[in-house]
A and B are shown apart, each in its own frame.
Chain A
Amino acid sequence: MSGILVVIEQKENRIARISWEALAAAQKLAALESNAQTSSQVTAVVLGADTEAIAAEVAAHPVAKVIRVDHALLADYTPDAFTLALQQLIQKENPTQVVLPHTYQVRDYAPALAARLGQVLISDVVQIADGPVFTRQLMQGRLNGEYKATGAGPCFISVQAGAFRADPAEASAAAPIELFTPTLDAAQIRTRPGKPFRGSSQTVDLGSAQLIVSVGRGIKEAENIPLVEALATALGAELAASRPICDNGWLPMERQVGSSGQTVAPKLYLAVGISGAIQHLVGMKGAQCIVAINKDPDAPIFEVADYGIVGDLFEVVPALTEAVKAAKA
C-alpha cells in the first residue's frame, strides 16, 4: 500500500478550483508522510468518457502521474458508475490515502465508495497535521474536531472549499498519463440523471455587487426583513440572505449566498443575524471587509469578521441605518 490518489472533478471539461485545492491537500499529506520515511507520491485521477484533454491539463501540475479512468458510462455522473470505477481503481492501485474535493458530487458517492471498501470518509476536512490528524468542523462551525483514521484500508478524506491554497501549475515537464478502463455494465447503473438546469431566472447578480447586506436566522420573522432592507437601502447595498431565510420563502432563492447559492466577493459584506455555518462562509469569505452583527459572541461568523458588534440586531440595525443616513447627509 503506497501513494496518494487525488480525484480531480471535471464538469464539461472544466476543473473547478476546489479540485486544485484537493491536490494541494494531497501534496501536504505526501510531505507529512515522507517525513515519516515512506515516500509518498501523488497520483491524480480524472473520470469521464473522453478524458484525454482534461488529463493533459492535470499532467501540467505537480503530480507523479495522471490516471484517466475512461468509459462511455462515465460520461454523465452517476453514483453507481463512479463508485464502481473508483473501487476498481483503488483496489488495483492500493493507495494509503484517497483525497477528494468536498463537492456535491463527491458527497453523493464517496461515503458509499469508502463503505464498500470497509472504510469511512473523513468529510469536509479543513486542516491536515502530523499524524496525520484531520481537522473538520463540528456543530455548524462552532467547534473543531480532530480525526484519525485507524482502519487498515486506504484513508478517504474530502477537503472543504477554500481550506487549502491551490498552487499555480508549475512549468515542469508534464507528468505521464495512464489509461484505466473500468469494467462497467449499463445494467449496474440504477439511476438516470437529467441535464443540469438553472433554478429561477437569475435577475440578481450578487457576484458583482460591491456592497452586500445579508440577513440570517437571527431576524426571526419575515415581518422583520424590512429592518435590514432599510439598512441595505441606506448603504446602497444589495440585500442577500443565508439559506434558512430563503428556505422559509422570506427572500427569493436568488438572493442566497453560500455553497448552494451565489459566491460573492464584495468590498463590504455586512452579516446581520448570521451565525456563520460553513455552507454560508464558503460563499462570502472572499469579501474584502466583513462586518458581523450578532448576539452570540461565540458565533463562527466572528472568526472571519473584521469588525463586529455583539448585540441585539433589533436595536443595532435601526441605529446603524440612522448613523449611515446621517453620515451620507
Chain B
Amino acid sequence: MVEVQETMKIIVAIKQVPDRDAQLRIDSQAKWIDEADLQFALNESDAYALEEALQLKEKHGGEVVVVSAGPERIGQTIREALAKGADRGINIACDDLGSLDALGVARLLAEAIRSENADLVLTGLQSEDLGLGQTGVILAELLALPHASLILHVEKTDTGLKVKRELEEGWFQEIELPLPAVLTIQSGGNKLRYATLMGIKKAKTKEVRALASADLGASPAPVVTLERVTLPQKQKTTQILPGSPQEAAKALVEKLKFEVRVI
C-alpha cells in the first residue's frame, strides 16, 4: 500500500519585541517606550511556533511562510526566521503598529495571508511586550478557521490534527480539530534550533514579499486605546540589603533568623 504524504503549507505569524534585557524608558508622551537605542528580538513563544512549523515540515513536507507587521527593523527578524529554515516571508510595513488595537493587527495579518490558503496558521501564545495573548485567536475568527490555544505538541492525523493543550496547574488536554486551523503555541514544547551558517547564507536569497498596510484595506478606528504608560507601583516596601555579596548575605541571614524565623 502506498502511503499518501500530504504536504503542509504552514504560516507562522511572528513579532519583533524589545530584547528581554533591554533597559526600558517611558517615552516623553508616556504613550509607549522610547525605542531609540533599543535592541529587538523575536518574541519567545513565536520562536516556538516557528520551531513547531519547521518540525512539521520536516516530517510531512511542505512550506513554511513567516509573516510579520511592523516598521523597517522587522526585516531583520524575518531574515532570522528564514535563516532558521522558513521558506519565505511576508513583510507588512506598518510604522504605527502601536496605534492599532489587537483586532487591527490581526486584521492586517489576516488580509496578508488570506490568499495563501494555508493548511495551518501558527502564532506564539502571547507577545512579550504587550502581552495581550489574542492575535492568534482573533486571526482564527477573522479567517473563520477553528483554533486551539496554548498548544505544546502538534500531531497530524488522517482527519486533521491532534494537539496537546496546556491547562492550569499542571493539567493538559488533547484536542482534535480539522484542517485548516489556527494554533497558538506555548513555549517549551520543543527545543529551539539555532540558525546555521548555511541557513544564514541561504536566507539572503529567499523571497520576502513586501506589503504596505495600506494595501490591505482600510483599518477601522481602534476600539481600545493605550492611553498612558506608567511605572508600576510597588505592592510592598522592599528592604534592599546593601553591601558586598558577603555583607548582604550576612544581613539576609540575620533577617531570616530573627524576623522571618526560618533558620
Contacts and interface: CB of A to CB of B under 8 A. Distances in A.
B245 A315 contact: yes
14 contacts: A111-B134, A140-B128, A143-B24, A143-B229, A146-B228, A191-B177, A194-B174, A248-B188, A291-B252, A307-B239, A316-B248, A316-B249, A319-B249, A327-B253
Contacts of B197: none
Contact of B33 (A80, A139, A243, A304): A139
Contacts of A256: 170
B255 interface: yes
Q: Give the size category of B's interface with A.
A: 35 or more
Contacts of B174: 193-194
B240 interface: yes
Contacts of B187: 243-244, 247
Most buried by B among A114, A307, A310, A328: A307
Interface residues of A, number: 101
Contacts of B228: 145-146
A192 interface: yes
A243 B125 CA distance: 14
Given A109-B137, A115-B141, A190-B146, A308 B227 contact: no
Nearest to A189: B146
The SS class assigned to the A binding surface is mixed
A238 B79 CA distance: 43
A305 B236 contact: yes
Contact of A80 (B18, B146, B240): B146
B225 A289 contact: no
Interface of B: 18, 20, 24, 26, 33, 101-103, 106, 128-134, 137-138, 140-142, 146-150, 166-178, 186-188, 191, 221-236, 238-241, 245-246, 248-250, 252-253, 255-257, 260, 262-263
B105 to A, nearest CB: 10
Interface stretch (A91-99, A119-127, A170-178): A119-127
A122 B101 CA distance: 10
Contacts of A80: 146
Contact of A140 (B106, B131, B133, B141): B131
